Structure 1
Amino acid sequence: MDPRIQTHAEIVVDQCIDLQPDENVVVSMPPVAEDLRVALYEEIGKVGANPVMLARGDRGIGTDRAARAYLREVDADDISEPEHLLQLFEHADAAIVGRPHENVSEQSDVSTEIGSAYAEAYRNVLDSRLSTKWCLTHYPSPADAQLAGMSTDAYEEFVYDAVNKDWDAVEEHQEQMVEILDPAEEVRIVSGDTTDVTMSVANMTTLNDAGSNNLPAGEVFTAPVPDSVEGEVTFDKPVYHQAREIQGASLEFEDGEVVDFSATQNEDVLEGILNTDEGARRLGELGIGMNRDIDQFTYNMLFDEKMGDTVHMALGRAYPATVGEDVEQNQSAKHVDMIVDMSEDSYIEVDGEIVQRNGTFVFEDGFEE
């Protein structure tokens, strides 16, 4: 087996979820990632834990082709909460989720209405999975390499360079941003003439993503106070959602809610996201990308949101760990990340002080006020 895959599996089991003997762990990963599935099972066996396998993602609906077949035929009103899958996660101590594809466009002809109904029905399953020790990771499939515009070999190198890192060193570097953001009251994001948005992060918790829930990691993130977001934001990078590419997405916020929106491509998909539920029109996350080894856009949000010189904002559900005591958590069946390029004509302002300009942080060489 490729030793890079073995190293990947070791990091997931030993560091990301810190698996212990006799714990129950769900491995949710499609057959295209068989080498990683095998490597994970080897590491789980060394620990003495108890694994069970799902074929795709944490929602358990099956492979991409099987999921498409089901979603193309089922009526939205007939999609209900899968209690048997919910019980699986309720009895799990840990979960490892991977979402590589055999065909990235497999569900491109599934309606947004069905996709939203499906997400809503599985909301409690997702909540249950997020209550475990969980890790979302990736395997470099040829289909994902093609979507990124890379050869399979080049994409494999890109993935493993991003995954198999000294995460202790990453954590130490990123902690400098945590120390700025965690006690903050207000954040302002400005980029060019199209993005100027403010939000309160008062009493919210800032997390240092350095090899725990996400692999690759490389971001600092928190949750805005749901009704505090004001202004306009245009997302420079595409959003790949339900096998469709949204280009040029722009949102206008008042009192925390999206009151106007547009997109230059697949605006109907963006509208479908916003119409999922009330929480899908509010932000659930503000993230700051700090992993400069992820240096190109690949249409895989697990990587793209970590890119250096970017910020991302997620419509929908806030992660409970980022929400402070006695503060409202934004609830939604959706969590859709969208990226703003901060490399030029941009800055991040925290409580009136600029802490990043054109991608360079105040604690790094080359910062200019």
Structure 2
Amino acid sequence: MDPRIRTHAEVIVDHSTRIESGDNVVISMPAAAEDLAVALHEVLGDRGATPVYLNNSERAARAYLRANDAEAFETPSHQLALFEEADAFVIARGGENVSEQSDVTPETNAAYRRAMRPVLDERLGKRWCLTQFPSSGHAQLAGMSSEAYENFVWDAVTLDWDEQRDHQAQMVELLDGADEVRIESGDETDVTMSVAGNHTINDYGEHNLPGGEVFTAPVKESVEGDVHFDVPLYRKGKEIEGARLRFENGTVVGHSAERNEDVLTGILETDEGARYLGELGIGMNRSIDRFTYNMLFDEKMGDTVHMAVGNAYADTVGEDNERNESAEHVDMIVDMSEDSVIEVDGEVVQRNGTFVFEEGFE
């Protein structure tokens, strides 16, 4: 086994989830990531924790979703019970076919997400980590050789997370206590939102591995303006390209996409909360230097901003503000490398991808 897989497992256990003796840990990952599952079992055994291993098969999920009636989905009480008893969760992506669920309808996916929301809420209330195993399917999606993609993933996972935390803390300081954020990019993105009273989180490889962003929640009804998400995203095996959203009083009042607009529509129609922003994230990880069409990496790039329609993370919402709740949480990216600025309370804090505290800011 590649020794970097053992290192990956140790970072997950000791840094991202801080597993202790006696913890019950749920591991969920596809067969292609079995080496990582094996390494995790070794490390968890060393730490005195107890793992349960779930094979997350996209093929099996597709078969179930296509065979079932969307109106018949129910929350799986047995899975919910497992999650209630767990102390921590480790989930890895790494399927061999990233388009496996491309022929499941948006309506079916939305119905299933609604049924699974109690399970998701239970998981998000515990210690958890979402990571990536360098599988052939994701290497192909990224347009990279298997070896190059392995290097890319493991270099990002084994970053000096203390140094990254300190770098990102500079942006947290600018956002915490701020009132308004404005994002401008090109001719089509000009959006403002209040973050007053909400909290900014420094993501340095805990819930997401790799980490490399700071994020907060907009005040629910404060978002105004237009956004062109000029970086494509994959959603259940389909590429949404050229997504555009228009916000009034916080809600999406108009949307379009150059490709697979019906998938975007299905997301927004999942529930009422899916038409509000649940997250504003600012990418700050300079070790991720290329788009790979994998949101776990792409949203962390230093010259990007991402916004997620749907659920807001509870720890980002101040006690006096309303938390947006939804069965969805879908991140979409704006490339901020050219003709772009981020303003916080009227002051420019990033121009063309360079932060005010970085060398080269003008």
Q: TM-score range by the shorter chain?
A: over 0.9
After the TM superposition, which residues 33-112 of structure 1 pair with which residues of structure 2 at under 5 Å, given as runs? 33-56=33-56, 63-112=57-106
Letter matched to residue 204 of structure 1: N
Letter matched to residue 89 of structure 1: F
Q: Deviations over 1:85-142 (max 9, x none)?
A: 1111111111111121121111111111110011110001001001111111110000
* Aligned equivalents of 1:74, 1:331: Cα separation in 2: 26
Q: Superposition RMSD on alpha carbons, in Å?
A: 0.7
Residue of structure 1 equivalent to 2:6: 6
Residue of structure 1 equivalent to 2:22: 22
Letter matched to residue 330 of structure 1: N
Q: Which stretches in structure 1 are left out of the alignment for 5+ residues?
A: 57-62
After the TM superposition, which residues 220-369 of structure 1 pair with which residues of structure 2 at under 5 Å, given as runs? 220-368=214-362
Which among 126, 130, 134 is matched to residue 136 of structure 1? Answer: 130
Counterpart secondary structure, 2:208: coil
Q: Is the 8 A contact 2:305 2:335 kept in 1?
A: yes
* Aligned equivalents of 1:138, 1:112: Cα separation in 2: 25
Letter matched to residue 9 of structure 1: A
Letter matched to residue 18 of structure 1: R
Q: Is the 8 A contact 2:191 2:223 kept in 1?
A: yes
* Aligned equivalents of 1:273, 1:98: Cα separation in 2: 23
Residue of structure 1 equivalent to 2:205: 211
Letter matched to residue 32 of structure 1: A
Residue of structure 2 equivalent to 1:126: 120
Q: Deviations over 1:37-82 (max 9, x none)?
A: 01111111111011101111xxxxxx11111111111001111011
Which 4+ stretches in 1 moved above 6 angstroms? none
Residue of structure 2 equivalent to 1:59: none
* Aligned equivalents of 2:220, 2:81: Cα separation in 1: 30
Task: Report the Cα offset of residue 326 of structure 1.
Answer: 2.4
Letter matched to residue 233 of structure 2: V
Q: Deviations over 1:294-322 (max 9, x none)?
A: 11111111001101100000010011111
* Aligned equivalents of 1:65, 1:133: Cα separation in 2: 27
Residue of structure 1 equivalent to 2:157: 163
Give the number of equivalent residue pairs.
362
Q: Deviations over 1:140-170 (max 9, x none)?
A: 0001101111111111011011111110000
* Aligned equivalents of 1:102, 1:82: Cα separation in 2: 26
Counterpart secondary structure, 1:344: coil
* Aligned equivalents of 2:302, 2:170: Cα separation in 1: 15
* Aligned equivalents of 1:6, 1:336: Cα separation in 2: 31
Q: Deviations over 1:220-266 (max 9, x none)?
A: 00000111000000001002111100110000000000000111111
Letter matched to residue 8 of structure 1: H
* Aligned equivalents of 1:34, 1:277: Cα separation in 2: 35
Counterpart secondary structure, 2:183: strand
Counterpart secondary structure, 1:332: coil
* Aligned equivalents of 1:114, 1:84: Cα separation in 2: 21
Letter matched to residue 15 of structure 1: H
Q: Is the 8 A contact 2:221 2:249 kept in 1?
A: yes
* Aligned equivalents of 2:260, 2:205: Cα separation in 1: 34
Residue of structure 2 equivalent to 1:153: 147
Q: TM-score normalized by structure 2? A: 0.99
Q: Deviations over 1:177-215 (max 9, x none)?
A: 000011111100000110000000011110000021110
Letter matched to residue 338 of structure 2: E
Q: Is the 8 A contact 2:233 2:294 kept in 1?
A: no
Are residues 1:186 and 2:180 paired? yes
Counterpart secondary structure, 2:82: helix
* Aligned equivalents of 1:46, 1:66: Cα separation in 2: 32
Letter matched to residue 36 of structure 2: L
Task: Report the Cα offset of residue 175 of structure 1.
Answer: 0.3
Counterpart secondary structure, 2:129: strand
Q: Is the 8 A contact 2:95 2:138 kept in 1?
A: yes
